[in-house]
Every structure is written in structure tokens, then in C-alpha cells.
Chain A
Amino acid sequence: MTVKFLPSGDSAIVVEFGSQIDRGVSERVLRLSMRIRTSGLTGVIETVPTFRSLMVHYDPLQTSSATLVDAIGTLLDAAGRLEQRQRLWRVPVCYEGDYAPDLATVAERTNLTTAEVVELHSRTQYHVYMIGFLPGFPYMGDLPERLALPRQVDPRLRVPAGSVAIAMAMTAIYPIESPGGWHLIGTTPIVMFDLASTRPALFAPGDAVKFDPIGEDDYAAIRAAVADGRYEVPHERMVA
């Protein structure tokens, strides 16, 4: 697979590994991102991993596109594995009542029962491909094919924070209230984006996520614990 270097003006380069959403491609994107971060290349401001490419933002007064393309090419060829600090998160989700406004519609459109939708969604382990759209908004996949639906034709003007949503091959959690066109099948009481933290987004690209169904009582209890700062989202280290 050839790697393409695409200019995005004189302050960013897109390193493109493919044109489709693919786990193998995502691993390469994340690996390059980590290599660039640890190599301390002059003039690199930050890297943004996405599904199939890495955007490298740079300061054109400190380096140049030509210099960076050469340096990144060398990093691509470098041998050896990097230690990757990835985590598996277990996210509590209430798939009931008002917490799941689109669950019945999703069940209808996929010819499943609501219980089957919940079962399919919560038994899958997802990969965090990227974070974008909103601060802390994780694009996670791949959704079981039976649940794949296009985005809603009329997006909602207000999707509540914590909404667990699906569209196409992805699932996501809305970290803050926002307009949105995905199907809302549950709600999590956890905080996805915390400005007080130096790592404000709970998930990082490359992390893994599983959803644990909880009832409305559990939702309220966890919500209260989160508000008191007494709740830590269950997670474990993974060896990548």
C-alpha cells in the first residue's frame, strides 16, 4: 500500500494510508502519530489521527513541507514496535425509556427487537478510530452490520450530552449538547470531556470500548457519583 503525502496549504500535511475505513489502516495511522510525537521533529505543532490518514500540523517558519515529508518517510520505514498505552473502557449505558429515544425506530428499521439491538450493540468491542466533530467525540467501530443505518434525514437541533448514538458503521457518544443526526439508542452518565484535566478527552484514538447495559436506577446512582467526583469509569490497560 503506497502512502500519499497531500499538502493542506503550507501549515499541514496529510499522510494518507488508504481511502476506506479499515482497522489495519487505522493501526498504521496511530503508529505514525506516536512515532512523530516521540521523535520531536522541529516545527511539528501537533498530529491528528483520522480513519485513514494522519494530519501533521506544522509551523512553516520553522520547517518546510519538503523537510517534513523526508523525515516522516524515514519514520514510516523505521523498524521496531512502539509501546502503546491503550486502554479498554467499560462504559455504562442506559438503553431504556427516555434515555433511548431512537431505540424503537432503530429496531423497526433493522427488523430486530429492541433487546436484540441492545444485545448486538453492547456485546461488541469497539476501536476508537479518531476523535473529532466536537471536543471528545469518539468515532468507534465497527458496528455490527445488522445495525448499520444512514444518518437521520433531519438532524436534531439538540442532542443531550452523554447520548450514545449509531450511524453507518460507527457508534459514538455526544460529549456535550450539540446538533446531531445520529440515532440515539442510549445514554451514559459518565463525563466524556473534562476541561479541568490535562487529558481532557476520556478516550484516546486507539483505545477500545465496550458498553455495559444498566437500568435507570443505576444510571441515577452513577450520575450522582460522577457529580460528586466519586466515580471512575472502569478500564484496564491493553497490550497493543
Chain B
Amino acid sequence: MNASLSVVAPGLYTTIQDLGRFGYQDVGVPVSGALDALSLRAANRLAGNPENTAALEILYQSPVLEVRADSVRVGLAGGDAELELVGERPRQLGGWRSLSLRQGEVFRATQLGDSACCYLAVEGGFAVEPCLGSASSYVRGGFGGFNGRPLRQGDLLALHRERVEDRGEIRIPHPPPHERDRPVRIVLGPQEDHFTDEAIECLVGAEYRVSKNADRMGMRLDGPLLQHRDGYNIVSDGIATGAIQVPGSGQPILLLADHQTTGGYPKIATVVSADLAAVGRRRTGDTMRFSIVDVATAERLRRDQEAEFQALMSTVAPAAAATGLDLDVLYRTNLISGAVSGHE
């Protein structure tokens, strides 16, 4: 039998993503990749994978998955989501951890809490063909990931491994804060000179809210409109992830992973790379404020963030219960005795 996870329910918008598809923006192919790259990397570390391994990006609502392999180890990271075994007696087993699951077990992630996304990695990775060097799904182009689209009920996600590596489960004891209340740092430009002084004051003085028009390409922000100095059309130029472009309506659009590679609207500012994950975690209705930094500061913030991430990864610890009892082991004992699950 080919090892797989079977999609019992697809979730709201679940796609396979890695850290992105680079090298093809000059022919119009967006980078794609995880909205919250930090959580993807953490999920992979928990599952025992290289950080760039393709995993499931779960937006808002988790898929329900059934194990069709001897066993599979998963790593879940992002937001407040916990792993939950689905069945007659649902069991929540915590988030930011690894967990081994057996043939026939059905599981999902619980409510994501303050975050829009979380990541489910499997040990050994999903067996998907890389497309132009990456397994990331680019849904608008219809390629990458699982048939270039979000999961549907009945999909079988092939796994590289038939069973788990023999080792203990691990967790990250103190997950990083969501940082939703901290201002999002931006660098002005590349076209801030296309805007009035009032527009720039407005961008950093006002509060913006993620509208319901938000997806992996970008989020339209509700809030004060931003006035152009003279006209809103520019000769198309390149777009970086995190760019805040302002079309004729004056409503800013913050561009995310699946954004077009080029565009003809002026970009007033660009979110610093260290804050892209925090922006990717924002949910519809969440607010954000912006504060301006210069490029050198932005580069330092990124280095600091990387150091913090490595420090966080060094806290990875065995996932034993605080009492000294390994609840998983107890739970497995139950499983084997058939008290909880009829699978064995």
C-alpha cells in the first residue's frame, strides 16, 4: 500500500507550501510559499525535516485527515492550534509539537485562535513533484503542490515514509507571541513620491483593518484612503512581497506570497521582511498600524529575528507531560486496549 493521508474534510483553503519558488519571477511566476514562513520552518523542525520541506498550510479552518500508512509523525506549528484526534472521544494533544499517529487514526488541528494560518508537516514530507524547483501551490496558475489547487474531500496525499522514525516526540514549550499589537514596520517606497504628504502621514497615523477581500495574493486594507499626487498609473515595474500598492480608489493593498511579479500601481511602502510572517498571520477584521524604519534598520530587524528563531528552536524539548507521565504513552495503552479506538 502507498502511504498517504486521506482528506476526510478539506478545511477552508488548505494548500501545500514550502518556502517559495525562486528564479522564475522574470517570466511572471510568483514566489508563492508559506504566508508565515517561521511557523512552517518550526513545523518542519518538529517533524524532523529540513526547514524547506513542503507542508500543509491551513487557513482559518483545518482539514480532517485520516492516516493511511503504518504510522506517520506530524509536526504542527502556528497560532494556538492544537492537534486533535477525532472520534467518539476527541482528544486535544497540544500544538507546537510532534505526534505519531497510526493507521486509521483521524485527526485535525483545532481552532487557530488569533492566527489566520498554521502548518502541518509530516516526517519525510509529502510525495509531491516539485514544479519549477518548488512544491508550493500556485493556485491561480494551477500548478505546484497537490494538482495546483487547494485540498478537496477524498484527496490522497502521498507520503514519502511508510512509518515513523523510532524516536521520542518533541515540542516547543513556549511558542512565539503573535505580535498582533506591535506596529508593522515598513520602508517607504519605491514610489512614495507619487503620494501626498498627507497620505504618508495617514498611513503611519491611522489604523487599518484587514478587509474580507484578503487571500494569498494580498489583503485590501480598510481605513483612510491614500491620495496620489498626480495620477495612479505608473509604468509597470517589479513588486516585492510586502509591497503596499495603492490603486485609483486610494484603498491600499498589502501584497502577499502569491502576488503578481509586476504591476502598474504605485507602491507607497513595503513591509520589512521580519514582519511578513506577522502580517501573514493577520485575519480578516484584524487591525494594523504601520511605523517607518530605514532599510538598514529593516535588515538588522531581520537578523535579530533570525537569531530569535534559532534561539526558539534550541528550546525544543521532549514532549513529556509535566507530571513525568507521558500522556501519549498512556493514551496509546488505551488505544491498544481498544478502550478509545476500535482501529486495533
Contacts and interface: CB of A to CB of B under 8 A. Distances in A.
Contacts of A60: 273, 298-299, 302-303
Given A134-B28, A195-B131, A200-B27, A9 B273 contact: yes
B25 interface: yes
Given A52-B235, A64-B296, A65-B295, A11 B240 contact: yes
Contact of B302 (A7, A10, A200): A10
Interface of B: 22-29, 131-132, 141-143, 186-191, 234-243, 260-263, 267, 270-274, 295-296, 298-299, 301-303, 306
A46 B25 contact: yes
A61 interface: yes
Contacts of B131: 195
Contacts of A205: 26
Chain B binding surface SS class = mixed
Interface string A99-126: 0000000000000000000000000000
Contacts, number: 146
Interface of A: 6-12, 14, 16, 19-21, 33, 45-55, 57, 60-61, 64-66, 130-137, 139, 176, 193, 195, 200-201, 204-205
B29 A51 contact: no
B240 A137 contact: no
B27 A131 contact: yes
B22 A46 contact: yes
Contacts of A204: 26-27
Contacts of B298: 9-10, 60
16 contacts: A7-B270, A8-B239, A8-B240, A9-B186, A9-B243, A10-B301, A19-B235, A21-B235, A50-B237, A52-B235, A60-B298, A131-B26, A132-B28, A132-B262, A135-B28, A136-B28
B236 A139 contact: yes
Contacts of A176: 141-142
Contact of B190 (A7, A10, A33, A57): A7
